[in-house]
């Protein structure tokens, strides 16, 4: 069975290399966010639930954001886009949106709170593992809390705080949407879906937040080497220098294997390899418009890099419409 770093213990480097593959998957899946940011009907502030309006007004008062009708509506539209993204991604992962779940229900779940945070709760074995991600408006790295050994202190209900029996996180803000794995899904697959959904949604919410920046020249980037290094460093509580060194070593290993003629796996993405291209003789062709003869020079045999995408990533990409691609 495939190892899940959020819910099992394993040597750090093994965990880290698998997470690199997750980052590559995110960059492919993330194309779905464009349509949410640039297209469709926009929501106004007055259309939001009163509880969300109160939270956003408090956020504006405690920050340097402008207290204007235009900005209120911008916040409302961002909230609506996050809700849509949550629904879309959990549907892709074949999770069900529900209003409540009992504490003794063993299924894993992902929660979006009224504050816009993401709470991932692993399926219950003896205990549960929990990850809480607070996605601030002006940050390209979420603030996270991970708890290895805890449980629900009560049922989870829309409109109520989620409470835990042990660990640093005692409770969250009220749940706004709850997505749960189907009972027919085995524990390992539940963990995999929750991990994938958590990574996708936290990064998706950060990308949506980028549209709120007034100073467009100072927007944090997400999928640059620098920002991905910060993401990994934060997630695994290591220094940025160590995270960068591991990323560099990983890519160097991939490059080395390919240059040595190996077919190198990229996790669920596919494989990288070299393909030998035969030598081409010099030849004469005619210009398609003028009819003039043109000599094409001979080319020696050479090797060219090739990537073969896996069936998994092809099927995943197939869920993304052309109108939503970046």
pLDDT tens by residue, 18-71: 555 555 545 444 444 444 444 556 788 888 888 888 888 887 787 777 788 888
Please report the pLDDT score of residue 17 as a whole number.
53
What's residue 6's pLDDT?
Answer: 41
Give the closest residue to 142 by CA, choosing from 152, 150, 151, 132.
132
User: Euclidean distance between the first and final Cα of the chain, in Å?
Assistant: 33
Tell me what the mean pLDDT of segment 130-146 comes to: 76
- 238-277 pLDDT tens trace: 898 999 999 999 998 999 989 888 999 998 899 999 999 8
* Residue 288: burial class (beta carbons within 10 Å; 0-12, 13-18, 19+): exposed
| Cα–Cα dist 147/130, whole Å | 5
Q: Name, in order, each residue with C-beta under 8 angstroms of 115's C-beta and a sequence gap of 6 or more.
A: 55, 134, 173
Look up the pTM and report it: 0.68
Q: Rounded to an integer, what distance in angstroms lies between the CA atom of residue 255 and that of residue 252? A: 5
Domain spans of the chain?
12-242
What confidence tier does 151 reach under pLDDT thresholds 50, 70, 90? Answer: very high
Least confident of 10-14, 86-90, 111-115, 130-134: 10-14
Give yes or no for a contact between 85 and 209, defined as CB atoms under 8 angstroms apart: no
What's the rounded Cα separation, in Å, for the pair 222 and 231?
9
pLDDT of residue 218: 47
**pLDDT tens digits, one per residue of 196-230:** 999 889 888 888 887 765 444 444 566 788 888 88
Among 292, 285, 262, CA closest to 274: 262
Q: Which residue has the higher pLDDT, 12 or 235?
A: 235
pLDDT at 135: 78
Quick one: which of 38, 58, 164 has its CA closest to 114? 58
**Distance between CA 151 and CA 157 in Å, rounded?**
15
Encode pLDDT of 62-102 as tens digits: 777 778 888 888 888 889 999 999 999 999 899 999 999 99
């Amino acid at each position: 069975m495939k190892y899940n770093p959020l819910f099992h213990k394993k040597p750090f480097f093994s965990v880290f290399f698998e997470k690199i593959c997750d980052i590559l998957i995110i960059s492919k899946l993330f194309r779905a966010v464009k349509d949410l940011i640039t297209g469709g009907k926009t929501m106004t502030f007055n259309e939001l639930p009163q509880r969300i309006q109160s939270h956003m007004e408090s956020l504006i008062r405690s920050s340097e954001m402008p207290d204007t009708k235009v900005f209120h509506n911008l916040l409302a539209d961002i909230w609506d886009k996050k809700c849509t993204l949550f629904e879309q991604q959990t549907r892709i992962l074949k999770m069900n949106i529900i209003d409540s779940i009992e504490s003794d229900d063993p299924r894993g779940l992902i929660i979006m709170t009224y504050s816009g945070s993401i709470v991932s709760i692993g399926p219950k074995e003896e205990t549960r593992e929990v990850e809480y991600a607070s996605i601030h408006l002006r940050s390209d790295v979420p603030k996270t809390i991970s708890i290895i050994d805890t449980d629900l202190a009560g049922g989870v209900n829309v409109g109520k705080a989620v409470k835990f029996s042990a660990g640093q996180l005692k409770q969250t803000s009220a749940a706004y949407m709850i997505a749960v794995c189907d009972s027919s899904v085995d524990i390992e697959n539940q963990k995999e879906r929750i991990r994938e959904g958590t990574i996708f949604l936290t990064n998706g919410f950060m990308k949506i937040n980028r549209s709120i920046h007034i100073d467009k020249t100072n927007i944090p980037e997400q999928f640059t080497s620098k920002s991905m290094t910060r993401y990994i460093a934060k997630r695994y509580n290591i220094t940025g220098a160590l995270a960068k060194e591991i990323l560099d070593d990983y890519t160097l290993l991939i490059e080395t294997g390919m240059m040595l003629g190996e077919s190198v796996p990229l996790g669920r993405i596919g494989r990288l390899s070299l393909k030998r291209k035969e030598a081409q003789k010099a030849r004469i062709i005619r210009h398609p418009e003028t009819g003039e003869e043109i000599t094409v020079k001979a080319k020696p045999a050479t090797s060219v890099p090739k990537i073969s995408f896996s069936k998994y990533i092809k099927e995943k990409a197939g869920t993304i419409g052309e109108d939503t691609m970046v």
